[in-house]
Amino acid sequence: MGPFAYNAHTNNLVLVLADICDIFNHAEDNTACRYGTSVQGALNKLNNAVSAMLTWFALNEMKVKGDKFQLIVFDRKSIERSWTFNVGESVIGNQPGLNLVGLYVDSPLDFIVNIDICHKAGRKHFSKAF
């Protein structure tokens, strides 16, 4: 199934999850977001969202690869702590950063990796001009 057919097929997934989490859809990538007054509270809400997603995918006869899920936690107090949640049989641990459709997002939200990429690309482009 190509990205267009996938998006057409999954349009109602966004509606199904509207009251459970914020979900962003780009091509065949879905990003579910939850926030809370505590990390554990947000992860509990995210677990509910993931359960609803897995149910939706199963009802629509689509396979989910648990190892494709990623987790990042934005919390200044527990940035070094390990957090996990379950996706079917897979246990997903938080990562210090992850790539979301070409944008690298890291826990401290400093975007250093993106700045370095832009700096290198600009330097490469600039050197070709002269």
| Residue 84 host element (H or E) | strand 84-87
Instruction: Report the DSSP pairing between strands 97-100 and 103-106.
Output: antiparallel
Domain layout of the chain by residue ranges = 3-95, 98-130
Q: What predicted TM-score, i.e. pTM, was given to this entire model? A: 0.71
Per-residue pLDDT of the chain (130 residues; tens, 9 = 90+): 666 776 667 778 888 888 888 888 776 777 888 888 888 888 888 888 888 988 988 888 888 877 778 888 887 776 667 888 888 778 888 888 888 777 788 887 888 888 888 888 888 777 665 5
* Residues forming beta bridges with residue 106, ordered by sequence position: 97
Give me the residues paired with residue 86 across strands.
Answer: 91
Q: Which two tokens stand for residue 113?
A: 């990796």
